[in-house]
Amino acid sequence: MTDTTLLGPWIRRFLVEYLVSERNLSRNTQHSYRDTLHLLLPFLACRTRKQIDQLAVVSLSSEIVKRFLQDLEATRGCGVKTRNQRLAAIHSLAHFIGQQSPEHLEWCGEIRRVPFKKSSHVQITYLEKPEIDALLATPDRSTALGRRDYAVLLFLYNTGARADEAAQLRISDLELASLSSRHQSLVRILGKGSKQRRCPLWSDTAKELSFLVSGRPAGERVFLNRLGQPLTRFGIHTLVERCVTQASDRTPSLTKKRISPHTIRHTTATHLLRAGVDINTIRAWLGHVSLATTNVYAEVDMEMKAKAIASCELKQTRTKKRWRENPGLMAFLRAL
């Protein structure tokens, strides 16, 4: 019989049963929770002077959790967002153990009372139209590698896909209409939490993707590296950074922004909003679960705010003071 006082068996059940079978969380979320515990367990063992396999559930006190979070910021240089993500994983573990083991309910409550740290509002970075045009113009499309780079950048801008979503894209996910067809080309994207969404493709995007996947099996990934292996999300990050560096020579404003594939995602949302696309449509386009997440883009566009304020501005009409224009009256007053 498994010892319910030990932390190890609970962690195994948490990662295998709860995250995968019960919650069906995305692969990235599972890895994030795993990485949190990979950092937490050695820290806990060091503080309690016990072997990791001998750690008890109650060994993980709220005070040690606070010290662990402080160590993440001080030693590893983690930001508030990362710190809160690690704490969310610990809260989730405590919740799971508390649900399954009533004798640990009090311990669960103590751990879950460790508060998240308030973070300052971070301004979303996006590219203006000339900047994204300069980025798209960077790859040398006369070469196979340059045409692939262009297809990746165009796909990211068209769909607002995350780097991992683009990396996981398979040829079977594409519904490409022929050039003579009136049908709309579409792509099926597998997003966070294994949620699928369909996104329309511009004709130029469909054309580039058609060239890229021509003659290849439907099960292959769409974007491959120079060795013919699937391009990873890290490879897509590197691709974007390389193109930004090259484009910065012609467009210096790019050097003032920290640009990643997610910046292109922000750019897509902002440009759709400026074009008058409904916020709910943008939410579905980006694959957001909550409309509140999409509403952030309505707050970042200062140009739209300025136009809105200007359209509502009240023009004060000044009434003419006719007595100042009456020379007879002024002469009369000076004569008094």
- Domains of the chain, by residue range, sit at 7-112, 129-310
Q: Is 121 a catalytic residue?
A: no
User: To which H or E segment does residue 174 belong?
Assistant: strand 174-175
- Per-residue model confidence as pLDDT tens for the chain (336 residues): 567 899 999 999 999 889 888 888 878 888 999 999 999 999 999 999 999 999 999 999 999 999 999 999 999 999 999 999 999 999 999 999 999 999 999 999 999 999 999 876 667 889 999 999 999 999 999 999 999 999 999 999 999 999 999 999 999 999 998 755 667 899 999 887 778 899 999 999 999 999 999 999 999 999 999 999 999 999 999 999 999 999 999 999 999 999 999 999 999 999 998 888 888 888 888 888 766 667 777 666 655 666 666 666 555 555 555 545 555 665 656 665
Say which of 18, 150, 157, 297 is annotated catalytic: 297
Say which of 83, 104, 197, 288 is annotated catalytic: 288
Residue 228 structure tokens: 């013919």
Residue in this structure with the two tokens 């796909």, named with its chain if needed = 155
Half-sphere exposure of 90 (CA within 13 A, CB side): 31
Q: Chain centroid to CA 127: how far?
A: 15
Contact 92, 33 (CB under 8 A): yes
Q: Is 265 a catalytic residue?
A: yes
Say which of 13, 188, 192, 207 is annotated catalytic: 192
Q: Is 33 a catalytic residue?
A: no
Q: CATH classification of 7-112, choosing from 1.10.3470, 1.10.150, 1.20.120, 3.40.50? A: 1.10.150
SS3 9: helix
Measured between alpha carbons, how far is 138 from 247 in angstroms, rounded to an integer? Answer: 6
Say which of 104, 162, 197, 271 is annotated catalytic: 162
Q: CATH classification of 129-310, choosing from 1.10.443.10, 2.40.170.20, 1.20.1260.10, 3.40.50.300? A: 1.10.443.10
Q: Is 34 a catalytic residue?
A: no
Contact 86, 69 (CB under 8 A): yes
Q: Is 288 a catalytic residue?
A: yes
Say which of 13, 207, 237, 262 is annotated catalytic: 262
Residue type, 15: L
Say which of 86, 265, 271, 283 is annotated catalytic: 265
CA dihedral 213, 147, 161, 239 (to 10 degrees): 130
